[in-house]
Chain A
């Protein structure tokens, strides 16, 4: 079974353009379709691994735009299906987030070990 490392760096883009959390959702879908997915969150995307994120909405011209993003829930599903989720430790520290606040099952990766992590997988997708 091919193992893929999916690096997600850009976060919270396109509030009015997108209707759900494309990246975590498609990672989970790949896992369900039989892939072996390891998601690596870096930069602001490490925030995806925080549980209990509030949903929000916006009204433009009287039209309500409900944000149905469910980053943490999609990652939780990915973990439950046997996938892996990691975050870069230095990015977490930079954002002053305690590792204990992350979803259960999320692991930490040192930035210096990134190259080795890439070599442990059959493919690396940079999203």
Chain B
């Protein structure tokens, strides 16, 4: 059954590497897009580092498995944004970005002032806040 497209708001507050929230968020985002919904992701705190341009497309070489290439989070998120330019937005909190020194972002990301958080939250019909702000 075809469901009506909705506006999703996902806020990612947790620090990367400390748990699997980032993985969950990316899976949720892709699933929502696959079902035709619109998604706005708001990255706060350490999560602003996921889209740092300095990460490059690939992770540093795995010393235990030199033939394996492993995509960076910047590549994963950038690819999703390029595939869904009309239905996916990835917004980075400017204050958190400056606080964490992640000021060089990939070009597909939008840097927004903190006050926009509530605006996007109100606009969405489905809202989910993930993780603890760090």
Count CB-based A-B contacts (< 8 Å).
Answer: 65
Given contacts A17-B73, A58-B27, A63-B76, contact A12 B20 (CB under 8 A): yes
Binds A, one of B5-13, B58-66, B98-106, B121-129: B58-66
Q: How large is the interface on B (under 10, 10 to 19, 20 to 34, 35 or more residues)?
A: 20 to 34
CB of B48 closer than 8 Å to a CB of A: no
Q: How large is the interface on A (under 10, 10 to 19, 20 to 34, 35 or more residues)?
A: 20 to 34
Binds B, one of A35-43, A64-72, A81-89, A101-109: A64-72
Interface residue from A15, A19, A61, A63 paired with B20 (Cβ < 8 Å): A15
CB of A113 closer than 8 Å to a CB of B: no
Chain B residues closer than 8 Å to A61, beta-carbon distance = 30, 76, 79-80, 83
Query: Is the beta-carbon distance between A14 and B68 smaller than 8 angstroms?
Result: no
The docked-state distance in angstroms from the alpha carbon of A68 to that of B59 is: 13
The docked-state distance in angstroms from the alpha carbon of A61 to that of B73 is: 11
The docked-state distance in angstroms from the alpha carbon of A19 to that of B64 is: 10
Query: Is the beta-carbon distance between B76 and A68 smaller than 8 angstroms?
Result: no
Interface residue from A12, A14, A19, A63 paired with B79 (Cβ < 8 Å): A63
Which A positions have Cβ atoms within 8 angstroms of B?
10, 12-20, 25, 58, 60-63, 65-66, 68, 70
